[in-house]
Structure formats: C-alpha cells, structure tokens
Chains A and B, each alone.
Chain A
Amino acid sequence: MAEIVLEHVGKRFPDGTQAVTDADFTVRNGEFFILVGPSGCGKSTLLNLIVGLEEITAGRIMLNGRVINDLDPRDRNMAMVFQSYAIYPHMTVRENLAFPLKLAKISADERARRVAEAAAVLELDGLLDRKPRSLSGGQRQRVAMGRAIVRRPEVFLLDEPLSNLDARLRVQMRAEIARLQKRLGATMVYVTHDQTEALTLGDRIAVMRAGVVQQIGDPRDLYQQPRNLFVAGFIGSPPMNFLPAQLEGKRLRLPMLELELPESHLERLRGPAARLIAGIRPEDFAPLGQDEPPAAGFPGFQARTEVVEWLGAEQYAHVGIENRMAGEFPAVIDDGVKDAAGSGSGRIVVRLAPDCRVGEDETLALRIDTAKLHLFDPRTGERLAPG
C-alpha cells in the first residue's frame, strides 16, 4: 500500500530560484505515475522532494496519510534509480545488490535469497561477481534497478533511467520496466523528458513546465484534451501544428482557408472578432480526392510539399501553405505563450498514408477535420475549444 499525496508542495532554493511551485496531486497505490517536461522544468527536483534528498520549502508530502516532510530518505522506504545509475564502483554486482539489505541488518540468508531473486528477474545471474566498470550501459542500468528491487520498497522512484541508453535498448528496457511494474504491483514515480516514454508507460502523467504542473491526466486525456498550448505542443510526435487564426462571429479565418466553426467549439469563445491560435495534429489532415467536393466540416486547401519523411509504417510531409492572413505563424511551443506571436514558418506537418506516393515540391490537396481543431488563447495559452 503506497499512496503519495502532495499538498501545495513548493521548493525554493537558497539562491532564490523557485524550482517547484504549488504541486498538488495524488499518486495512487500501484500506479505508474510519470513526471514529464523539458529540461529544467523541476521534475527531478520534485522527485528529490518526494524521496527526501531535497527539503520542501512549502506544503506537505504524505505517504499513506503520514506527513513525511521531515523524514530522512532512509526512513521513507522508497527506492530510487538515478539517471547516472549511481552503482558503487568498488563493489561487485552482488555486493551492490546486497548493500541496502546489509544496512537494514537483514540476515545473510535472507540477503542471499533476495539478491538471487532480483538477479533472476533482471537476468543478472552471470554478472554477480563482476565489477561495474566491466559492465555495459544496459547491464549497469539493470543493476541499479536490482538494487531498488531487493529492498521491496513501497515506492519506486526513477529519474530518467533510460536516457543514457541507445535507442534500441531504450525501447527494450521500456517494455521491461512496464512489465516489472505490473509484476511487482508497486507504486512508481518516473521522471522523463521523453514524451514517448510518458505516453507508453504512464497510467497517469503530470506535465511540468518551469516548476508548475500544467496538467495531470491519463495519456489519452493529455493527447486529446490538452489544457494549454504547452501541453498540446509537448505531447505528441510530430508535434501539433500551430496557426494564427482570426475569429469573426462563427467563422474562423486561417492562413490558408476559412471555415465555419461547429457548436462544440463556440461555447467558450467570446467577442465578435478575436485573435486566436489554432492547433491541428498531423493526423487530422487528409488528402482531398481528385474530384471529391469538400464535405461540410472538412474544408480543403492546397499545399506544396517540401520534405517528405517515409518511415515504413507512417509517412509525414512537411508542406508549405499560403498565408492569406497578415499575421505571423506561431512557433512550435516549448517555451512560452509569447512565442505564439513569434516567428514560425509557413510550414505544417501532415500525416499521409504510407502507400501514398508523394514526392517533394508537389502540390497536395488537403482537407482538415474541423472537429479536431483546437483553439487557444494567444495571451494565456489556455485551450478554449473544443469545450
């Protein structure tokens, strides 16, 4: 049983940096909870606050109802896997795995049993008597995990454990970790900057930016109903396309076309004419057939392909569109609503079927799915539609 509750948790460093502001959420028992965000967003700091390596300057953290703000890391019964693995170079793998048990004064027999168990689960049996320097990256990573497992803690904390591995190994270990978590039924808090890892591993995800939690939800929620520009642009790869938009009554003007907004979108939109930012994901475009008249709700436009990326199972085209508006394009967001007014290019990314043969510098006829169009307030970044 391990439920972690964060109540208005904040961390301010002695030099004045506010690393985490008002983090308030619950990690449920047995949940795989992800903290995701760009570098410097405070996710690692938050993890350190949970394990007790950093001291909280505001709010409370509770483990199973008990406030643990002032508890030393060793008394919190949590295990942590560091980004650098932090395995002891002067000890063998076996000694590394046994170290926490020795500290807990567990008997030699029990120690041996647990070490053997962890080694079996992580396939470290043949490596038990080797020293870390003779191990590969993936093997070291497993030793770090093994050291966490032997303690049978209530909570596992993982700080970007896969970022030092090569791409192939990363995909493999991702699945391993997911399997492990299900098998142990443990509560896991996992920090990463990779949104793919977040989406594939997480039961629930907290997206962070500059110390503030932007949104918490399961992968689908975040993907389909992002709360603001930042989350919308961060989650999903290739990222959501952002375009300047002008709302006039019920009509929305985009750089390459005009459309009529469905009712679902109009709930929270106020004012006769307003400047907005429109967001459309690459998969919400579709090629317009030769003689197909555009259907209602699926307005069409022309675009010129610039770069085509064919990936076997998917295909993405970077296309240039004409800009009939006097405005500029928002850049792909990772840093600030203000960038929404800034210097993007007149290019968007659209997803095409892999068997659709398209070359570079060709004209494509495309249409968009209006129902999937997101609208954001350019000043606050908040998503206004669909409601």
Chain B
Amino acid sequence: MKPRALSERHLGWLLCAPAVAAMLLVTAWPILYACWLSLFHYDLRFPEQRAFVGLANYLSVLGSGIWWQSLLNTLIVTAGSVTVELVLGLALALVMHRAVFGRRSVRAAILVPYGIITVVAALAWKFAFDPTTGFVNALLGLEQPWLTDRWSAFFVIILTEIWKTTPFMALLLLAGLTLVPGDLLLAARVDGANALQRFTRITLPLMKPAILVALLFRTLDAFRIFDTVYVQTRGAHATESVSIVGYNTLITRLNLGLGSAVSVLVFMGVLIIALVFIKGFGVSMTRGDEG
C-alpha cells in the first residue's frame, strides 16, 4: 500500500482517538471499577473494615424488599410516562407537520421544556401540586396531599416527566414523519383511502424505525430517572427509583460496596432493555457509513 493510503487510516484513528479515549475513560473504566468495588464490603465510614465478600452484596441487594420495590416503581414510572409520551408526541408531531399557521411558535414553544433544567421543571410541578402553595388543590377543590401519598406522587412524577420530554419525543417522531414520502400518501388518497387509513396503513408502518428509536431512547432515559423523583419526594413514601436507591446507598450512606452492586445491577437493567429493543424489535442502530 502506498504511504498516502496508510496515513488516511492513521489520520482517521488519530482524529478519533481523543474523543474515544475521553468516552472510555469516564465509562468503561468506572464501570469495571464499580464491578470490582461491588465485590467488597466497603463502607467509607469504616474504611479499615474493607473486606472481600464476593457476591454477598448482590445477594443482599436482591434479597432486599427496597430494591424490588424501587425496581417496580421505576418500571411503573417508565411504562406510564413512555406510553403517554408516545401518543402525545405523535399528536404533537402531526400538528407540527401539518400546521401552517404558527409553525414557528410551536417549534419555539416545544423547545422550552427541552431547554429547562429538569430540577426546575420538577420544582415547578411540585409547587403546583403542593397542598399549601399550589393551585391544583384550590382549582379542583381537593384536599389531596399529592406528594406524600404513593400513587398520587407517581401521578405527579409521571406528569412532570411527560411534560418535560414529550417535545423531544415529538421532534424525533417529526423527523420520522418527514421521511414518509408525500407521493405515497397522495397515491393512497387516489386509491380511496381516508385519512385514518392513510395514517394507520402507510404513515405508521413507515415510521416504525423512528418510533422504535424514540422509544428506545426514552425508555432508557425513564429507567434512569433520578432528578424528578429526588426533587419531588426524595424517594420517600415508597416512590424510590433504582437510581435513587443507588444514590442513597453510595453517597448518603457511603456504602461503596453495596452501592456499587446496585449500580452494576442498574447497568445490567439498561443493557437488558437495550438488547430487548435491538434484538427483539430490530431497532436499526447502524446507519450507512462507507467503511
């Protein structure tokens, strides 16, 4: 091979190296370290008592009611928010796609939830539902202690998540929507299909890849939920998510061993979800690149 060709390969690797190194450094290495830590009994309050305990931490976590409850909570929040977001996001995408008047206003408006800090959004909704300062109870004439009761707290949490991330979902779906060739819909119309039929038989199937990608990202995001739950309930009243459990164990109780076990389990949960989507639903992750 001539020198110039070789250097194209080398140049390619060289240019990618810093980015790859940075990404690996902060993910690959720590996760391995976490796996390592999880095999130890390691409480930072009593660092001298550090000892190798094998899989004892995992057994402890998996035998703990708190873990399973938090897993359930996380799944409830995930399922609740993702399904509603999908429907709302689709509706929003359709509005953005077809609206002529106010297109710019809509586009600008939906970016606000995207740009707002999650913590701020969570606080805003927390205050709205707060029995003392909020207006919801007053408006609806209720006495509901929203955030101190498990299921109503879920409602608020899910509502906040939906509010914040539906726009992003809508944008992803909008991108998929624009890929549906207008010609196909015109042809279908000539063939006699009404609007609903055109939507369900042509648009939706053609959007399937985009929908799956959007679902994958949002499901993973929802599974990792932390900010909203922390701010609104701190995980109290049996509303903990798995990330909250991890945080509490690691940072609040300084138990690195147990906390790392929780972290690793959360990581595996994410992996499983990703695999289910990629293998099970055939989400196409690689898009054509010339090698």
Task: Report A-B touching, CB under 8 Å.
Answer: yes
Identify the closest chain B residue to A16 (Cβ): B1
Identify the closest chain A residue to B3 (Cβ): A55
Q: How far is the CA of A14 from the CA of B5 in the complex (A)?
A: 6
| A48: min CB distance to chain B, Å | 14
Contacts of B5 in A (CB 8 A): 14
Q: How far is the CA of A260 from the CA of B47 in the complex (A)?
A: 107
What is the predominant secondary structure among interface residues of chain B facing chain A? helix
1/0 per residue B1-12: CB within 8 Å of A? 110110010000
Q: How far is the CA of A55 from the CA of B7 in the complex (A)?
A: 13
Q: Give the residues from 260 to 287 in chain B that come closer than 8 angstroms, CB to CB, to chain A.
A: none
Q: Give the residues from 27 to 73 in chain A that come closer than 8 angstroms, CB to CB, to chain B.
A: 55, 57
Contacts of A14 in B (CB 8 A): 1-2, 5, 8
Q: How far is the CA of A14 from the CA of B1 in the complex (A)?
A: 6
Q: How far is the CA of A57 from the CA of B5 in the complex (A)?
A: 11
Contacts of B8 in A (CB 8 A): 14
State the total of A-B contacts with C-beta under 8 angstroms: 7
Q: Give the residues from 154 to 176 in chain A that come closer than 8 angstroms, CB to CB, to chain B.
A: none
Q: How far is the CA of A55 from the CA of B3 in the complex (A)?
A: 11
> In the complex, which range does the number of interface residues on chain A fall in?
under 10
| B46: min CB distance to chain A, Å | 60
Identify the closest chain A residue to B5 (Cβ): A14
| B5: min CB distance to chain A, Å | 4
Q: How far is the CA of A55 from the CA of B1 in the complex (A)?
A: 12
What is the predominant secondary structure among interface residues of chain A facing chain B? loop
Identify the closest chain B residue to A54 (Cβ): B4
| B3: min CB distance to chain A, Å | 9
Q: How far is the CA of A55 from the CA of B4 in the complex (A)?
A: 8
Q: Give the residues from 230 to 249 in chain B that come closer than 8 angstroms, CB to CB, to chain A.
A: none
Contacts of A55 in B (CB 8 A): 2, 4
Contacts of A57 in B (CB 8 A): 2
Identify the closest chain A residue to B1 (Cβ): A14
Q: How far is the CA of A52 from the CA of B8 in the complex (A)?
A: 16
| A198: min CB distance to chain B, Å | 30
| A229: min CB distance to chain B, Å | 34
Q: How far is the CA of A77 from the CA of B1 in the complex (A)?
A: 28
| A81: min CB distance to chain B, Å | 25
Contacts of B2 in A (CB 8 A): 14, 55, 57
| B32: min CB distance to chain A, Å | 36
Contacts of B4 in A (CB 8 A): 55
| B11: min CB distance to chain A, Å | 13
Q: How far is the CA of A55 from the CA of B2 in the complex (A)?
A: 9
Q: How far is the CA of A57 from the CA of B2 in the complex (A)?
A: 8
| A306: min CB distance to chain B, Å | 33
Identify the closest chain A residue to B8 (Cβ): A14
Q: How far is the CA of A1 from the CA of B99 in the complex (A)?
A: 62
1/0 per residue A105-143: CB within 8 Å of B? 000000000000000000000000000000000000000
Q: How far is the CA of A346 from the CA of B253 in the complex (A)?
A: 89
Q: How far is the CA of A55 from the CA of B5 in the complex (A)?
A: 9
Contacts of B1 in A (CB 8 A): 14
Identify the closest chain A residue to B4 (Cβ): A55
Q: Give the residues from 1 to 15 in chain A that come closer than 8 angstroms, CB to CB, to chain B.
A: 14
Q: How far is the CA of A250 from the CA of B133 in the complex (A)?
A: 111
| B115: min CB distance to chain A, Å | 29
| A16: min CB distance to chain B, Å | 10
Identify the closest chain B residue to A12 (Cβ): B2
| B40: min CB distance to chain A, Å | 50
Q: Give the residues from 109 to 163 in chain B that come closer than 8 angstroms, CB to CB, to chain A.
A: none
Q: How far is the CA of A57 from the CA of B4 in the complex (A)?
A: 11
| B260: min CB distance to chain A, Å | 46
| B290: min CB distance to chain A, Å | 11
Q: How far is the CA of A8 from the CA of B4 in the complex (A)?
A: 21
Identify the closest chain A residue to B9 (Cβ): A14
| A268: min CB distance to chain B, Å | 42
Identify the closest chain B residue to A56 (Cβ): B2
Q: Give the residues from 1 to 28 in chain B that come closer than 8 angstroms, CB to CB, to chain A.
A: 1-2, 4-5, 8
1/0 per residue A326-337: CB within 8 Å of B? 000000000000
1/0 per residue A213-231: CB within 8 Å of B? 0000000000000000000
Identify the closest chain B residue to A55 (Cβ): B4
Q: How far is the CA of A217 from the CA of B2 in the complex (A)?
A: 34
Q: How far is the CA of A131 from the CA of B1 in the complex (A)?
A: 43
Identify the closest chain B residue to A14 (Cβ): B5
Q: How far is the CA of A113 from the CA of B198 in the complex (A)?
A: 60
Q: How far is the CA of A49 from the CA of B228 in the complex (A)?
A: 60
1/0 per residue B154-195: CB within 8 Å of A? 000000000000000000000000000000000000000000
| A26: min CB distance to chain B, Å | 26
| B83: min CB distance to chain A, Å | 43
Q: How far is the CA of A57 from the CA of B1 in the complex (A)?
A: 9
| A276: min CB distance to chain B, Å | 44
Q: How far is the CA of A236 from the CA of B64 in the complex (A)?
A: 84
Q: How far is the CA of A14 from the CA of B9 in the complex (A)?
A: 10
Q: How far is the CA of A167 from the CA of B68 in the complex (A)?
A: 71
Identify the closest chain A residue to B6 (Cβ): A14
A-B contact pairs, 7 of them (CB 8 A): A14-B1, A14-B2, A14-B5, A14-B8, A55-B2, A55-B4, A57-B2
A-B pairs, 6 with minimum CB distance: A14-B5, A55-B4, A14-B1, A57-B2, A55-B2, A14-B2
Residues on A lying within 8 angstroms of B by beta carbon are 14, 55, 57
